[in-house]
Amino acid sequence: MQIYPFPQKTKKSILALGAESDGNFCFFNTEKIYFSESFGDLLKEKNWQKYQEAILEFLKKNKFKPDLIITDLHPLYLTSTWGKALGEKYKAKHIQVQHHIAHIFSAIGASMVNGGTCPVKRDSVFYGVAMDGTGYGTDEKIWGGEVFEIANKKIARIGHLENQILIGGDLAVREPARMLISILGKFLPKDKIYNFVKNYYTKNEFELIHNQLKQNFNCLETSSTGRILDAVSLLLGFCGNERKYKHEPIALLEANSGKPYNDIKPKIMSAESEQISNFKFQISNQLPMTKFQNNPQILETTFLFEYLIKNLHKDKKRLAATAQLYVAQGLYEIIKKNIPNTRYQIPDTFLAGGIANNKIISEYLTSKGAYVNKIVPRGDAGLSFGQIVYYLSSSQKN
């Protein structure tokens, strides 16, 4: 158990339960944040039992009683449903924080640990980039390549990766070829798509998957960075169509990266009609679905795959690096568009999420002035820390 000094003036004791894929918990009491170990994938019964027992033992041993319990926004996470039950047990208020907002505030909190002051003042403007595989969005889609602006105690989603289709939902996480089929389906005829996945599916299997896409049956939209890089890794031949461990396709893509080509620039469009959520710093256990027009900037990832298909005859390792750099450059351009009078740097920008560990992406963004935390894990094992920092930041009086 790590203990971080965090001098925020509140008498409340706060228990944050994190997410599911890499579970941990945090507890705030008397200007300290207690940060637990990672318990791994909580969908594994042994890990889930160990996680629950550790929390109950921690509270009992330290004679702590939470006044507030924070969970992820996803309504079906084990941590979300158990958090609600714990709230009833301890007569504590239960609130939910959107997954990627918690990631961003984890990085913000890491920058505050030594200084002790919350940088999110009423007149401050900050930016956050959250990149991972899966997170439940306030529009009920799957997010994972997000850019936020934090200003005047409000959080706006000002940009994200182009939405692509997860054919079969979570099955597309385990089989990256499903993701590739949905992306290629935007610009290639069916017979040409099959040429890129025929090593993984029979003709009949492919027909079923392609029909599922066309009929939009059990298909989910996602802006996930992880799923884009999975599909790139498969297309370039670095991974197979079975994910043997978490982040395997992305790890193999990064391990096989060379020097990037410089003949592609990010293609960004403005989704003028897109309805998005306005995150207000208002503590509530309800899904924050206040809608407004905000013209978010969309990084087109289909354009990246058109480039890759046209250049598959080139060095695959260089193409691997080019794809990762394309994502980094596109996110940088989205932020830069929102910072007045800046040409190069993006100050007060926090980089978070599991793909913040990607060397090519993180090094590019940090070279432009972004901050990436080195104190708590950047992925889901640091999410509970961000949940607490979000609450403390939103409830402070400036």
Please, what are the domains in the chain? 2-116+381-395 (3.30.420.360)
DSSP 86-120: HHHHHT-EEEEE-HHHHHHHHHHHHHHTTT-----
- The confidence score (pLDDT) of residue 290 equals 35
Q: Where are the alpha helices (DSSP H) in 171-294?
A: 171-174, 176-184, 190-197, 203-215, 225-235, 248-255
DSSP 42: T
Give the chain's residues under pLDDT 50.
Answer: 273-284, 286-293, 398
Residue tagged 């790590």 (tokens): 2
- The confidence score (pLDDT) of residue 123 equals 64
What contacts 24+ positions apart, CB below 8 Å, involve 42-47?
A: 42/78, 42/79, 43/78, 47/23
- The confidence score (pLDDT) of residue 120 equals 61
Question: Among 72, 69, 68, 138, which residue's Cα sits nearest to residue 103?
Answer: 72
The one-letter amino acid at 97:
V
- The confidence score (pLDDT) of residue 343 equals 72
CA atoms within 13 A on the CB side of 263: 8
pTM: 0.91
- The confidence score (pLDDT) of residue 398 equals 44
Distance separating alpha carbons of residues 191 and 181, to the nearest angstrom: 11
- The confidence score (pLDDT) of residue 338 equals 83
Token output for 153? 């105690």
- The confidence score (pLDDT) of residue 267 equals 96
90 with 66: CB under 8 angstroms?
yes
Q: Is 236 helix (H, G, I), strand (E, B) or coil?
A: coil
